[in-house]
Amino acid sequence: MVGVIAIRPMDPADLPSVLALEQVTFAQPWDEAILASEVVSNNRAYLVADAGGEIVGYGGLLLDADEAHIVTLATAVRRQGLGTRLMLGLVDAAIAYGAEHLTLEVRASNKVAQDLYRKFGMAPVGVRAEYYGDEDAMVMWAHDITGAAYRLLVESIRKGLV
């Protein structure tokens, strides 16, 4: 494990580390200008996973009316709970914003990410053909994220990390 991890809001000073992780994680990485504009946009919420000053993950939301759209999620290490911690932070941010629903697109071949999102109550509802240019995207949603049942789900996930 990477040690003690703090999930915190992304700061513009985090951009070089986030950009480096973006480039090694995604086949079609965002460039610095896109990331810089995303971090300061009013209807966005970006978080980083900070392991003693080293950025080991990040995630972002587009917030629109009653929906929160997860636009990115990346981790430097796999299978150690980091994606789960970031998802908890994104869910908390979505609820704090007032979102009722959570959505995202995920590569059709990325079964590990799909399993993470299913753990958070997200279900596939459709496919966006060639969304990534070279691959289809599965569209996933979780509804009523402020409801009692979803809160219980999130709290059970949170307790499982302790």
The answer to whether the beta carbons of residues 104 and 117 sit under 8 Å apart is yes
Q: How far is CA 2 from the centre of its chain?
A: 19
Active-site hit among 117, 130, 132, 150: 117
Question: Number of C-alpha atoms within 13 angstroms, CB side, residue 134?
Answer: 4
Active-site hit among 22, 38, 67, 105: 105
Burial class (CB in 10 A: 0-12, 13-18, 19+), 95: middle
CB neighbourhood size of 15 (10 A): 17
Residue 148 is encoded by which pair of tokens?
């009692």
Active site residue 105: yes
Side by side, the strands of the sheet bearing 101-107 are: 6-9, 44-51, 54-64, 67-75, 101-107, 137-142, 123-128
Q: Which residues are identified as catalytic?
A: 105, 117
